[in-house]
Amino acid sequence: MKHKTLRFGEGFGVVLGNRRLQAAQMVLGPGKAEGNARNRHDGADQWLFVVSGGGIARINGKRYALRAGSLFLIERGDRHEIRNTGRARLKTLNFYVPPGYKPNGDELPAGKPADGSTADD
């Protein structure tokens, strides 16, 4: 059993995971964005849950509103950008299946498994 209390500091960080799934938190300040029109994860599906704040998700060229309680499945290969268009910080909890990042936050190459370590190992 693993456990983590989330603090939602600035930026992106892997918080917990195993060889099958990985959780990360992301906090974007007003006007900040993560990703771009070409950004995609070739090796993992991303579940993105908006904890608080608001903004816009651009997924495969379409715009979607982000607000507290929103849940998105961004499938592997989907091009996406997450942008904070509000005045407060945009806080999201993200799950990657299989893991999409190394514990230090570097993206894993498609088809390469994580070494099983997490931010807590």
Q: Which residues form the domain of 22?
A: 14-95
Strand ranges, E, within 18-114: 22-28, 33-35, 45-52, 54-59, 62-67, 71-74, 80-84, 90-97
> pTM for the complete prediction?
0.87
pLDDT tens for the 121 residues of the chain, in order: 999 999 998 899 999 999 999 999 999 999 999 988 788 888 899 999 999 999 999 999 999 999 999 999 999 999 999 999 999 999 999 999 999 998 788 888 765 555 544 444 4
Pull the structure tokens for residue 17: 């995971």
Q: How far apart are CA 26 and CA 49, in angstroms?
A: 10
- Structural domain contains residue 105: no
Going 44 to 9 to 32 to 93, the CA torsion angle's sign is positive
- Structural domain contains residue 100: no
For the chain, what is the domain count?
1
Q: Where is 15: in which H helix or E strand?
A: strand 11-17
User: Which residue, among 111, 119, 117, has the nearest Cα to 41 in the 3D structure?
Assistant: 111
Other CB atoms within 10 A of residue 55 CB? 23
- Structural domain contains residue 84: yes
Q: What is the CATH number of the domain that holds 62?
A: 2.60.120.10
